[in-house]
Amino acid sequence: MTTPARKQRKLRTFSAFGDVRRMPSEYEIVTHAQNWNTRNGRLSTFEQNTSSPLNLWFLTYRENSPLQAGDWDSFRDPDQIAYRSYVNLQADEQTKLDGMLDSYSGADAGLSENQVALLGSVLTPSRYLVHGFQQAQAYVAYMGPSSTVTSAGGYANADFLRRVTMIAYRTRMLQIAHPGSGIGVNERQIWEQHQAWQPAREAIERALVAYDWGEAFTALDLVLAPTLDDVLIRQFGETSKANGDELSWLLSGLLEHDSTRRDRWTGALARHALQQRADNEAPLRKWIDRWSALADDAAAGLATLLGKPASEVVESARSARAEFHDSFFNDVVTKAN
């Protein structure tokens, strides 16, 4: 007796995801396999001469990066941020920010001299550093080995742009309230020449020429940003609150939401890389050690502006960074055991 052939299941629009039995989420639909320069079967990244400068760049710094995985496409942003959810999320956050600025519109005039000096030496010049973060994040996103990496990096890049915009807005507010303080005028000189800022400036300038995508990702997202955000967001906010500047403390709390969300997806990506290939641990630890030294020097330099002992500021930032790294290194070891 002949067994009848099994009827082939009708293909659906989401068959590109494999033999799945559920409807993909909106996040998966709009982020899955969207990077045309990572398509299977391609002879080179771009449809031009395989030895063209752009193809050689991607071949050298992405395809031959020490950070490799068999399946980058299976990475998922833990928050599943897509365009619509990101716009809605940040619209709500911007409403909160605008409400705070309106509520404290006259508070800047009553700030102490010490707090005005702190704002003019730490907050307002930091837009140069954050703009450097934004540029480095854009590179990580563009070089990403999958569309899910590119998507997450793109929204993190937008977060940095939003932060630069907020700092610029606060700079103008403070300039109006304290026209003789130098705020709104001296930021570039402080960034380029003030001794306290030079280690941070060196760190981000070096990160901008870390061309290997794995090292660029590690330098910015696993080391520099987590370390300096602890200094320039959390510790700065706490110092501002102690100085009677409640607005700066509240705004720092809002910025910390973006920083925490970035740590979630970057930690998840590092964990994914380690789960895909155990030997990814070697390049990650090598890069982390290399960039941690620069990050610690940057934190120590900024400590003088916060009026705190460098050892205290660096230890706090280093502790936050180590806790972040443990979240993916230790998690992979635990699952392996």
- Token pair in block for residue 16: 């590109």
Listed in sequence order, the DSSP H helices in 124-186 are: 126-143, 147-177
Give first-to-last CA distance, the chain, whole Å. 50
For residues 247-260, average pLDDT: 96
Residue 17 has pLDDT above 80, yes or no: no
18: region left, alpha or beta (phi > 0 left; psi from -120 to 50 alpha) = left
pLDDT digits (tens, 9 = 90+) for 296-315: 999 999 999 999 999 999 99
For residues 143-158, average pLDDT: 96
Model pTM score: 0.92
Q: How confident is the model at residue 35 (pLDDT cuts 50, 70, 90)?
A: confident
| Structure confidence at residue 334 (pLDDT) | 61
Secondary structure of 36-89 in the HEC alphabet?
A: HHHCCCCCCCCCCCCCCHHHHHHHHHHHCCCCCCCCHHHCCCCCCCCHHHHHHH
44 compared with 240, residue with greater pLDDT: 240
Helical (H) or strand (E) element with 265: helix 246-276
Residue spans of beta strands (DSSP E) within 177-240: none
| Structure confidence at residue 99 (pLDDT) | 94
Mean pLDDT of the chain: 92
pLDDT digits (tens, 9 = 90+) for 50-85: 999 999 999 999 999 999 999 999 999 999 999 999
Distance CA 276, CA 270 (A): 10
- Token pair in block for residue 169: 């807005």
Question: Nearest to residue 226, comparing CAs of 156, 277, 274?
Answer: 156
307: region left, alpha or beta (phi > 0 left; psi from -120 to 50 alpha) = left
Residue 19 has pLDDT above 60, yes or no: no
| Structure confidence at residue 197 (pLDDT) | 98
Residue 100 has pLDDT above 60, yes or no: yes
- Token pair in block for residue 247: 């607005």
Share of the chain above pLDDT 70, in %: 92
| Structure confidence at residue 24 (pLDDT) | 82
